Amino acid sequence: MTSNSSDMTRMLDAIARECSAMAGEIAWLGAQVSGETRHGGANIVALQSFDYLAQQADAQAGLIARLAAGMVRADEMRAAIEAIPLPRVRARLLAALAGKTAASLDLDDDVFWPAP
């Protein structure tokens, strides 16, 4: 079976929709957790983690959707990546765009605050 650009476009579009749906589910789950009676810093960290994951899924969905729509120029990709509100994700994607290999990237997915 051979593949063509329309197959790629359909797959990228489908993956973008899946990421977008995942962001919604993560946000819903975060809202459910926020209703629990946990107190203190651990609850705040958990809620921030849900927000981070939802934002990351939404950012990935946006990039995939743009690629599926035909975004191919590096300057367009760079501008789309620079709009991502997550500094570590943005830095990793910009490094990948610059051609750095996965082994040379900091793939630490820890959020921006220490775990409790």
pLDDT digits (tens, 9 = 90+) for 9-30: 776 777 788 788 888 888 888 7
**Cβ(33)–Cβ(47) below 8 Å:** yes
Residue 34 has pLDDT above 80, yes or no: no
Q: What is the CA radius of gyration of the chain?
A: 17
40: left (phi over 0), alpha (psi -120 to 50) or beta: left
Instruction: Report whether pLDDT(102) > 60.
Output: no
CB within 8 Å of 75: residues ≥ 6 apart:
none
Residue range 43-80, pLDDT digits in tens? 777 777 778 888 888 888 888 888 888 888 888 888 98
Using an 8 Å Cβ cutoff, are 57 and 19 in contact? yes
